[in-house]
């Protein structure tokens, strides 16, 4: 009211407010006429019944706090930790297998001939050797396959993480920085320094929305400016953010995948701790003594308590009591068990466990809801396939589809492939990779040829079939009799599904083993003797 009084005290302002009010009244009258004639027009904001949805909010995310809460939940909550561990284990496993698949058709149209089999085997051997070495990472504490699992975990919990490609000791190396260290410099926030581009949440962005650089907070409080493309299009991408989830398409930072379930998980964790704690306290009372109306409230353990505390008991026990106590001593000595001479009106009762009967009906659905929000089926997260074959198969096939999409969109496009392209570029300059026309295309800006050269796939462990015989039989039925003797998969796919290693290596070893084993065949030994 104080603001309104100040406005109306000023005649000029009061006049403007009056004119505005009159103008709004005119608009209202016009709208009323429109509504009267149309009969159906109304401003719809998603609410069918008044006040059902409440006030609408446009959330501005506090990325740092959300990330802190997510990591706290990962440390404290068994549900969250189980889901994340299983998620990363299934998606990454021991690392994705690299396969070079250059676009031969396009290269030939561009006048470049390539022996695909020889060329692919050569580069696959080089990259696999590089990827399995700890020297492929900047810290040299893990190889890029192990780091892939850490990247995925950080992206899920923190919302994003920064991957940096650096050239160290004649080799490309990979560095990963947790998202919380990517922050806007202090001089930009306080307007001390002038930057050409906008810096939002530590990400320097051009007018077109392209990421120009990332500002990483250092231990001494300064910020390192890391360019996304130091050499422009020639060098390709050398720093980028791997996202867990984006709030909106124009946001430069990622949102933790746990944002929607943090509060629910906290309540579920408190319920679990309270239930387990109550059961623990109840288990400390193995039995109780129940007194009826004839009891004199005597404690059957009074004598043992007195002995333990050093208090002498009064004499005057009856012969019957002494006899019973003697029997109790003999029972304890011979069987190792106790017998009690209970007073009149006293019964020994076992203390029943007071476990919450609604525990499963409350805990399980909420845990499954958290698993589903993260994106992993409850059966996979808990490694329990107790349902029907069709139900378990549906869950497995759904998870298999999820794995293929996640591997392609997150790991291949935003982790493995940029690393391979940087590796390809460095080793092409060093002469380790023969790529005719690649350098000319690179400097000429012909990205179609460079992409054709570096086209590749990264394959992960397949979801095992619940019943492989049923799956194979179903495929045979669908193919018909014409394909009765046609293999359903290649030897390479069989090795991938069984996690037996590289097919070419298996084949070479098998040839040697078969040759050695054939020596023990009696017919062949007799022929060699002759």
Name beta bridge partners: 214: 203, 226
Give the β-pairing of 239-243 and 160-168: antiparallel
Mean pLDDT value across the chain = 80
Task: Give the pLDDT mean for 269-290.
Answer: 79
CA-angle at 289, arms to 284 and 290, nearest 5°: 130
Task: Give the pLDDT mean for 203-212.
Answer: 92
pLDDT-based confidence at 313, cuts 50/70/90? low
CB 420 within 8 A of CB 127: yes
Cα–Cα dist 526/261, whole Å: 73
pLDDT-based confidence at 530, cuts 50/70/90? low
CB 255 within 8 A of CB 155: no
Name beta bridge partners: 173: 166
- pLDDT at position 292, please? 78
pLDDT-based confidence at 246, cuts 50/70/90? confident
Query: C-alpha distances in angstroms, 366 versus 51, 75, 370, 376, 448?
Result: 28, 19, 6, 14, 49
DSSP structure class, residue 52: S
- pLDDT at position 514, please? 76
The residue written with tokens 């990330």 in the block is 67
- pLDDT at position 75, please? 94
The sheet that has 198-200: what strands, in order across it?
Answer: 198-200, 203-205, 211-217, 223-227
Cα–Cα dist 415/296, whole Å: 79
Query: Environment class of residue 249 by beta-carbon count within 10 Å: exposed (0-12), middle (13-18) or buried (19+)?
Result: exposed
pLDDT cut 90: percent of the chain above it: 37
- pLDDT at position 76, please? 92
Tell which wins on pLDDT, 311 or 401: 401
- pLDDT at position 94, please? 87
- pLDDT at position 478, please? 78
**Which segment of 357-361, 375-379, 488-492 scores lowest on mean pLDDT?**
488-492
- pLDDT at position 3, please? 45
pLDDT cut 70: percent of the chain above it: 76
Cα–Cα dist 95/258, whole Å: 24
Non-local (6+) Cβ contacts of 119 within 8 A are 100, 102, 434
CA 319 distance to own-chain centroid: 73
* Closest listed residue to residue 171, CA positions, set 146, 145, 134: 134
pLDDT-based confidence at 317, cuts 50/70/90? very low
pLDDT score of 16 more than 70: no
DSSP structure class, residue 44: -
Name beta bridge partners: 97: 459
With residue 346 as reference, give the H or E element that holds it: strand 346-350
pLDDT score of 40 more than 70: no
Cα–Cα dist 205/184, whole Å: 12
- pLDDT at position 2, please? 47
pLDDT score of 148 more than 70: yes
pLDDT score of 162 more than 90: yes
- pLDDT at position 505, please? 72
Task: Give the pLDDT mean for 347-376.
Answer: 81
Cα–Cα dist 104/116, whole Å: 7
Query: C-alpha distances in angstroms, 85 versus 21, 75, 80, 91, 381?
Result: 61, 12, 9, 10, 9
CB 439 within 8 A of CB 78: no
pLDDT-based confidence at 7, cuts 50/70/90? very low
Convert the pLDDT of each residue in 489-511 to its tens digit.
777 767 666 666 677 777 777 77
With residue 524 as reference, give the H or E element that holds it: helix 522-529
CB 212 within 8 A of CB 197: yes
Q: What sign has the CA pseudo-torsion 463, 469, 470, 471?
A: positive
pLDDT score of 337 more than 90: no
**Which segment of 318-322, 414-418, 447-451 scores lowest on mean pLDDT?**
318-322
Convert the pLDDT of each residue in 410-431 to its tens digit.
899 999 999 999 999 999 999 9
3-class state of residue 301 by DSSP: coil
Q: What sign has the CA pseudo-torsion 490, 493, 494, 495?
A: positive
The per-residue DSSP string of 62-100 comes to -HHHHHHHHHHHHHH-HHHHHHHHHHHHHHTTT-PEEEE
How many Cα neighbours within 13 Å face the side chain of 231?
A: 12
Query: How many distinct helices (H) and strands (E) make up the chain?
Result: 21, 11
- pLDDT at position 4, please? 45
Q: Where are the domains of the chain?
A: 1-56, 287-350
Residue count (the chain)? 530
Tell which wins on pLDDT, 180 or 300: 180
Cα–Cα dist 179/512, whole Å: 50
Q: Please give the backbone phi and psi of residue 243, each rounded to the nearest 5 degrees, phi first.
A: -95, 145
Give the β-pairing of 97-100 and 239-243: unpaired
Q: What sign has the CA pseudo-torsion 325, 329, 332, 335?
A: negative
Convert the pLDDT of each residue in 78-87 to its tens digit.
999 999 999 9
pLDDT-based confidence at 316, cuts 50/70/90? very low
**Which segment of 72-76, 353-357, 449-453 scores lowest on mean pLDDT?**
353-357
355: tokens are 């476990």
- pLDDT at position 525, please? 56
* Closest listed residue to residue 168, CA positions, set 221, 213, 130, 211: 130
Query: C-alpha distances in angstroms, 273 versus 54, 78, 269, 277?
Result: 34, 11, 6, 6
Task: Give the pLDDT mean for 47-60.
Answer: 86
pLDDT-based confidence at 154, cuts 50/70/90? very high
């Amino acid at each position: 009211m104080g603001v309104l009084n100040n406005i109306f005290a000023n005649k000029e302002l009061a006049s403007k407010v009056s004119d505005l009010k009159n103008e709004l009244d005119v608009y209202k009258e016009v709208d009323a006429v429109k509504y009267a004639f149309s009969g159906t027009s109304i401003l719809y904001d998603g609410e069918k019944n008044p006040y059902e949805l409440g006030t609408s909010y446009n959330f501005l995310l506090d990325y740092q706090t959300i990330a802190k809460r997510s990591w706290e939940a990962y440390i404290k909550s068994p549900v969250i930790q189980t889901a994340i561990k299983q998620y990363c284990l299934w998606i990454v496993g021991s690392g994705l297998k690299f396969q070079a698949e250059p676009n031969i058709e396009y290269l030939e149209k561009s006048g470049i001939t390539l022996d695909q089999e020889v060329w692919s085997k050569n580069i696959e051997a080089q990259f696999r050797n590089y990827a399995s070495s700890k020297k492929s990472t900047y810290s040299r504490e893990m190889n890029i396959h192990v780091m892939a699992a850490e990247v995925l975990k950080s992206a899920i919990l923190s919302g994003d993480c920064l991957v940096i490609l650096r050239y160290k000791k004649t080799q490309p190396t990979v560095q990963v920085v947790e998202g919380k260290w990517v922050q806007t410099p202090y001089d930009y926030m306080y307007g001390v320094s002038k930057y050409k581009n906008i810096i939002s949440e530590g990400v320097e962005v051009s007018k077109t929305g392209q990421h120009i650089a990332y500002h990483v907070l250092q231990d001494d409080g300064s910020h390192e400016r890391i360019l996304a493309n130091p050499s422009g299009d020639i060098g390709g991408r050398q720093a980028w953010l791997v996202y867990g989830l984006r709030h909106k398409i124009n946001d430069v930072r990622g949102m933790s995948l746990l944002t929607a379930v943090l509060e629910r998980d906290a309540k579920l964790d408190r319920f679990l701790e309270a239930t387990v704690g109550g059961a623990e306290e109840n288990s400390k009372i193995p039995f109780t003594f129940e007194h009826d109306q004839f009891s004199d409230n005597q404690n059957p353990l009074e004598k043992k308590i007195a002995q333990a505390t050093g208090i002498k008991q009064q004499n005057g026990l009856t012969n019957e009591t002494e006899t019973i106590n003697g029997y109790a001593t003999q029972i304890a000595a011979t069987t190792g068990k106790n017998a009690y001479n209970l007073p009149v009106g006293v019964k020994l009762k076992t203390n029943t466990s007071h476990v919450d009967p609604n525990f499963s009906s409350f805990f399980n659905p909420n845990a499954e809801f958290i698993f589903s929000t993260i994106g992993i089926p409850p059966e996979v997260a808990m490694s329990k396939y107790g349902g029907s074959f069709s139900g378990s198969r549906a869950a497995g096939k759904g998870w298999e589809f999820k794995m293929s999409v996640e591997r392609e969109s997150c790991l291949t496009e935003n982790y493995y492939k940029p690393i391979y392209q940087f590796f390809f570029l460095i080793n092409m300059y060093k002469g380790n990779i023969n790529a005719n026309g690649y350098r000319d295309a690179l400097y000429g800006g012909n990205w179609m040829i460079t992409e054709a050269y570096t086209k590749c796939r990264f394959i992960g462990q397949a979801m095992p079939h619940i019943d492989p015989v049923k799956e194979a039989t179903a495929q045979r039925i669908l193919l018909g009799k014409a394909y009765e003797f046609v293999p359903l998969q290649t030897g390479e796919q069989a090795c991938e599904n069984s996690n037996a290693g590289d097919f070419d290596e298996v084949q070479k070893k098998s040839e040697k083993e078969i040759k050695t084993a054939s020596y023990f065949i009696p017919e062949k030994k007799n022929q060699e003797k002759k």
